[in-house]
Every structure is written in structure tokens, then in C-alpha cells.
Chain A
């Protein structure tokens, strides 16, 4: 209940029943990847900004994500994007270049227009990556991704469901770490110490061990499996996929047009 609540946010009924929530998880994964690859084709600031905007609006309108939840999840990530942009703006290799256009001078630092363009492009790209990622994560049940990967992408169930089970143990390890640190403090030792890793490792192995025993004891991997929650393609998937492609192409065209 403790760290679990922070690390693995719950996806409410509203999100899982929304248009995006009911879209095939593999398709959503594919769209996210296609957008990211598409962004690699340009250094311009416009396409990532357009995609960020589309992703956020889609998440709110089609994904049923409460604005507060989205804002809380994104705040630290957007901050990271801004930090990336600032660092690149201040320490860009363009700045010392005498040929570059000078915009401003802060003490010894010279800021150039070229640096500004590059920094804005980078920051916007980080922003778009985290926005697409957050909307994907907040509309997709991890179990359903794995169901889809196993059923449709032929991922081995042993690997897939094993990974899923391990993923669910991560919040538990965070709690374990807090307890370990407390125990050290109460024995009069510094609470941060490399030896903590030993204890944590023992725990991780033990969790994994118990889980694999529990899974094997229930016949996992004994023979051909059947499927309790079938995942299939629908017309909705076709519409969502086509729209996403059109938006990507439009965003990329916006950059060409602007640059020309």
C-alpha cells in the first residue's frame, strides 16, 4: 500500500473503459514507437510540440485520464525536459562559435540563436516522449499488454508472465529497502551503505524464488495453455491506428513546410 501506490498507479474503470483504454495495447505500443521513430527524422521544434499536444488532448478526451492525475505524473518529467533544454541552451557548442548569431550574454556565457533552436528542439522532443509514455501508461493495464504480447506477438508465456510477476514485485522491493534502512539505523549504523544491496538482493531472489515455486506448483509451463482473457483486433483499432499515422505525417510535414 505504501510505495506501491506511487510506483504503480491504478488505472481506474473510466480509463480502462475509454476509447484508448479499449484499444489494443500492442497497437498503442506500435503508435508510440512509430511516433518516437518519426520524431527522429527531424530536429525541428514543431513536430514534437504538435505530438505532445495531441497526446495530452487524446489522453484527457479519449483516455478518460483525470487532469489532476496526468498533471501529477507529468510534472517531474516536464521539469526534466525543461532542464534538458536549459542545459543545452547554456552549454551548447554553438555558443562559443563566433559565426553564430548572438542573442544575449550572461556574464561569461554567450547565448546564440543556433543554440536556442537546438535546445528548444531537444526539450520539445523529451516532452513529447514523456507525454506519449504517460498517456500510454495511464490508459493501459500492464496485464493486458502482456496478454496481447503473449497471444498476438507470440512472446513466450514463461517469459511474459514471469516478467509481469516480477514487475509487480518492484513496489514491494521499495518497501523492503525502507525497512532495511530503518533496521540499520536502529542498530546504530549509517542507514545508507553498500551492504544494503546484499540484503535487497537476498530479498529479490527470495521473492522470485517463491513466485516461481507458486507458479510452477500451479502447473505453469506444464503444457499448452488456454486463454482466460482473449485479446482481439477490432474496427476501433483500425480507426485509432490510421488517425495516429495521419497525425504523425501531418506533424512531420509541418516541420518541412516551416523549415523550407
Chain B
């Protein structure tokens, strides 16, 4: 198994797609050098222009699992989806049935044949995708950040599956992954890329760590021995007797909460409640992390707090007002948000336009500085389309637009998806600054490292209730 690591925007995904035969065939571009998968040359020195038949992933005997669990399941039902690849290869029906069952059992989903893919959790969907790709028995299995959108239990399940595939099947695995603590122990070989996509080092994991550990860390790559392994390290225990206050927060005596949620109930249909009775008050300068499994209602709670959904019962007060009754201009002054999928928040056609939309002339300079701080210097990014940035860059752009307005409440939905170490640190620093000015933060996240580094209070949702609500022992902001 080959593990590919590198900072955000270093070309990891491009490499993975090349191995799967998608680059340069589905994603054209300039190509130099050659790449062979098994006996097949994916593309020669000149980009494979002289090859008559285009290469496809399955003709390479390869399979690829992508980041977004939702958009790679083709058929409505799990069994049909796993069989889809077999049908395309013309397998006999008698051979397909047992193979589908086997593949599903292999990812721990035996008996899921008739279930609807859309009704599964993200982790389960990703395992269905793996089963579908594995069913035809590919020689090369490529996974491009397969756990990026999963909660910790979902990610661990995927890695358990990968471990057993590695031991059981003869397939070569190429894995692109940020979760160092889970991925490094499985790797036979690690390839580390730098910002420009050049290899920093390649070799056995312990050798790479010893030779180039500091270099990797400097390039923004997460390492397995970070005391702060992404989202998979156990949460630190609170020391008794030291309820940690947030950092330099302006905690005025008995200040009015910026967000006050009482007995909030919500469900998209009456029979399926998402939130049952939520009480949550957030003071100015407070930073609250909302955690919980995929589908536990974190995003829904954020959207209710911002007045984007109508509660079934209970009240929401944002700065003392019902956010649903505020005008857009008033709401924008009070609250800012970064959605889980930043693309859905973009309004401009270039990064510069995106940052400057709706700003007063006096705010523009500060916005540019913020972009610089969040590693999106306008010198390089001004004219680029927001839709063509990497996932991590898109999220930071969305943060710039939300932070510039200095909202009283900043709602963040999974702010650390796709962030490398430097993106993470820049994010934590920018949030520190914002909170220092009295803003409050409400962040939905799976990332325990972010909880520890950037928040002071951890609220866990389960079954529509607040299961726990406790202060977080915060690491010093400098580390």
C-alpha cells in the first residue's frame, strides 16, 4: 500500500486520478513523463496522444473511490450499485449474486443489498462505494481521501476495511489521506509531495519520518506522531478542578447571550425528529464546538440558529431577535457562516470579487489582509475562479468572506475539512483574533483537534438531544 501525503493543493488527487487512468483522459492537461499501471501505459511522454484507444479505469484493472460518498453511488439500491461494475464487465448472472454478497460482507455490510443508498450514513455509503469498486477484483485500488467527510467512527470503519483488504486481497492500494494516525501504520511506502507537487521523500514510513519528518511538518503535512492526530486520537481528559475559560475572551459580567436557543424542536417530517429539545446559550466571546455522528443534527442546529430553517417548536434568539424576522442586511451584520460545502456560498466570479462583494470601501484593505493571513494572497489568487480552487482553498475563501464582516456569531460547518496543518493553524489564529474582538463561534465539527485548539466548550448531540455540554481543556494557542 502506497500512502500519498502533501499539503492542500499539492496535486495528490491529480496523482491518484492519473493512477486510475482518469488523468489525462477525463481531465485533460499537460502531461510529461510516463506512467504504467500493470502492463498498460496510461500515457506516454507526450501525454499519450498517439494511443488510439483511450484508457479507462476498468481497462487498467483499477478502481477508484472518491471523496464525496454521495456522488459516486450510481444506483438507488445498495445491491444494484455493487453489481453495476460487474454488469459493465459482462459477468454472468450466476456469478454476480454471490460476488455482490461477498463484497458487501467484506466491508461489513452483509444483508444491505436491498437498502437505499441515499438513506445510509456517509460512512456506510463510502463502504458501499468500496464494495462496488472491489467487486470486480481490481489489481489496483485507488482511494482519494475516502474519509474526508466522515465522522470518526465512520472513518475508523473504513480503515478497518482497508486493513483487511490489504491482508486478504492481492490488490495494490494507493491511498491519499490526511488522517495520519490512521493511515501511516497501514502504509508500506509513503510518498510526500510539497506545495509544487515535487516529491519531498519516498520510502518506508519510519525512514521517511526519520529522514524528513521536520521537512514534512514544515510543508504542512500531518504526521502520525503529532500529539494531535486528526480526529482519531482520544479526546484529552479534563483535569479536575480547572474548568477552562476560553482565552482572552471579553466575558463581561452577565452579558446577554448572543445566541439563545430554548426547547428547540425540529424534524423535516413529523415522524422523524432531528432535534428533540435543545437548550443552548452562547455568550459573546464564547467558542462552542458541536460534535456528534453524521446525521445527528449538527448542521440543522446551525441552520436553525441562523434562521435558515423554521423550528417546529421552541425559540431561537440571535442578538435578542428572531433571526427569521430580520432583514438580510440586519442578519448579515449579526451572523456569518461557512457552509459545509463552501461552493454553495460563492457569489463572485473571481476570488477578488468574492471577497469584496457587499463590503464598505473602508473594509476592503482589512479583507485583503485577512485573505493573506488565511493563505489566499490576492497577488496569486485575485483572478482565479472560486469554483476552481482546491477544497481547502475554497473553505478558506469562504472563511475570509465570513470573517471580514466581524459577525457577532460565526457559524462554521466543518471548517477543517481538507485543511493541511498550515491551513489549520491559520484558521485557529484567525478565529482567536475574531473572538478577541468579542465575537462568538458556533462550529459543527468531527475534528477533535479543532475542538481542542480552537474552542472552549464542547456540546455533543445524540438522538436529537444534547448528550454532553462541557468545557474543553484548551491547548495554548501558540503551539
Contact = CB atoms under 8 A, between A and B. Distances in A.
Interface of A: 1-2, 4-5, 10, 141-143, 161, 164-165, 168, 171-172, 176, 178-191, 195, 199, 202-203, 206-207, 210-211, 213-230
B96 A210 contact: no
Given A168-B76, A218-B84, A228-B83, A207 B71 contact: yes
Contact of A188 (B72, B295, B308, B328): B328
B337 A186 contact: yes
A256 to B, nearest CB: 44
Contacts of A189: 328, 332, 347, 358
B57 A217 contact: yes
B332 A143 contact: no
B156 interface: no
A188 B331 contact: yes
Contacts of A182: 303, 306, 308, 337, 339
B308 to A, nearest CB: 4
Contact of B387 (A161, A181, A202, A227): A202
Nearest to A165: B74
B127 to A, nearest CB: 15
26 contacts: A1-B295, A142-B76, A143-B77, A164-B75, A178-B308, A179-B345, A182-B306, A182-B308, A184-B328, A186-B308, A186-B328, A186-B331, A188-B328, A189-B347, A213-B26, A213-B66, A216-B57, A217-B58, A218-B85, A218-B132, A219-B57, A225-B88, A226-B92, A228-B84, A228-B93, A230-B93
Q: DSSP class of A's interface residues: helix, strand, loop or mixed?
A: helix
A230 to B, nearest CB: 7
A168 to B, nearest CB: 6
A218 B63 CA distance: 7
A184 B347 contact: yes
B85 A213 contact: no
A178 B132 CA distance: 31
B333 A188 contact: yes
A211 B71 contact: yes
A143 B59 contact: no
Contacts, number: 172
A219 B56 CA distance: 7
Contact of B341 (A164, A179, A195): A179
Contact of A220 (B59, B88, B93): B88
B68 A226 contact: no
A215 B74 contact: yes
Nearest to A223: B90
A10 B73 CA distance: 18
Contact of B344 (A142, A176, A216, A221): A176
A189 B84 CA distance: 44
Interface residues of B, number: 67
Interface string B300-318: 0001001010000000000
B357 interface: yes
A226 B136 CA distance: 13
B87 A228 contact: yes
Given A226-B87, A227-B87, A185 B308 contact: yes
A216 to B, nearest CB: 6
Interface in B331-376: 331-333, 335-337, 339, 341, 343-347, 357-358
Q: 3 smallest A-B Cβ distances: which pairs? A: A188-B332, A219-B58, A183-B345
B344 A180 contact: yes
B86 interface: yes
Given A180-B344, A220-B84, 19 more contacts: A165-B74, A180-B345, A183-B344, A186-B328, A186-B335, A187-B347, A188-B329, A189-B332, A199-B343, A203-B343, A210-B66, A211-B71, A211-B72, A217-B58, A218-B57, A218-B58, A219-B57, A226-B90, A228-B86
B77 A214 contact: no
Contacts of A229: 80
A186 B177 CA distance: 33
Contact of A168 (B100, B118, B269, B337): B118
A157 to B, nearest CB: 9
Contacts of B93: 226-228, 230
B136 A195 contact: no
